[in-house]
Structure 1
Amino acid sequence: MGDVVLRAAPVVAAGGVPLRPGDDVVVRFRVHAERGLSDELVAVYSDEVRRVELRWDRDCDGVAEPVATLPLEHGVVPSGRGVGADYRLVLVGLREEHTVGSTVVVKFDFALAGELTVAVPVAQMAVNSGSCFDAGVV
């Protein structure tokens, strides 16, 4: 396999305060296609939330708009007018409490590469480039 590579940032529980049922949380991530194939992220879901919203700041203007899918061009992170893409998931309505050290399981479904299940950690730290983790390859 190895057609799609995904990196994600942890979900942040500010100050270590547990995330409560009903809370909405954001997962920032990067994803790109490899091995000479383009692909598309067609769905994202999790049993741990009411719904998952896929968002993309296509124009790098600070506003991540809802999108139905994300195109993944071979070896390229799609970008708009700005310098790169900002992908986010909004996990709407956590079903249970999540504390620092726990995880939120999210499934990414790609048109060609298939499904990738990621256990996104809940962390106390602020999100920055050093806090991303290799979420997986499918």
Structure 2
Amino acid sequence: MWGTRRTIAGSAVALLMMAGCGGEGGQPPDEGVPLEEQQLTTLGTNAELGPITLRNVYVQRPPDGEFQPGQSARLLLTLANESPEQDSLIRVTSSHAKVKLRWDRDCDGTAEPVDGLPITANGTVPGPPGRDVTGHLPYFVEVVEFTQPVLAGTSMPVTFTFERAGDITVPAKVQPREPIDEPARYACVDVRAPG
């Protein structure tokens, strides 16, 4: 098992957009919108655990500035693996909420609950062939239920457990209320040549 050396950076410099598909609802991209405007602008938390990197870890903003116990949300992030061996994210927990992993592995707009996410060797969570990234990746952590109040602009601890790399606890930022932090609305784009 990889060591559990923890390195947590303060803010992301940019969101790593990796092979796969974006994932909010299966909407096509707007024609004529530059790619850089389609990508997420929120800066979340970055962290490294051996060869595993977590980028732009954040919770979507609360509708009224604060999550109350019993409310739900999405925690978004990008996963990458610099090892020549595959790893898997096998568990996510938080002292502030009940959470579960979801993955829209077929990019059909339905993110099913899963027990884990494979992270390919020297890669990321795989997406279906013939798709390209235009927004969020097709996996996320569903906050099923907050167990205590959580304010916009603060952070909450989230522990990620990987099969090979081990555990790391990340302070996941909760989106502030500024409109510039709106997440991308785009999802999977078919990049196969028209037949």
Normalised by the length of structure 1, the TM-score is: 0.82
**Contact residue 32 and residue 72 of structure 1 kept, 8 A:** yes
Identity of counterpart residues, as a percentage?
Answer: 31
Higher strand share: 1
Structure 1 residues 1-138: aligned runs within 5 Å:
2-14=50-62, 17-49=65-97, 51-77=98-124, 78-81=126-129, 83=131, 85-123=137-175, 124=177, 125-128=181-184
CA drift of 1:95 comes to: 1.3
Distance in structure 2 (CA, Å) of the matches to 1:16 and 1:81 = 39
Unaligned 5+ runs, structure 1? 129-138
CA drift of 1:45 comes to: 0.7
2:15 alignment partner in structure 1? none
Larger RCO (alpha carbons 8 Å, 6+ apart): 1
Normalised by the length of structure 2, the TM-score is: 0.59
- Letter of the structure 2 residue corresponding to residue 3 of structure 1: P
Query: Aligned pairs, how many?
Result: 128
Query: Whose Rg is larger?
Result: 2
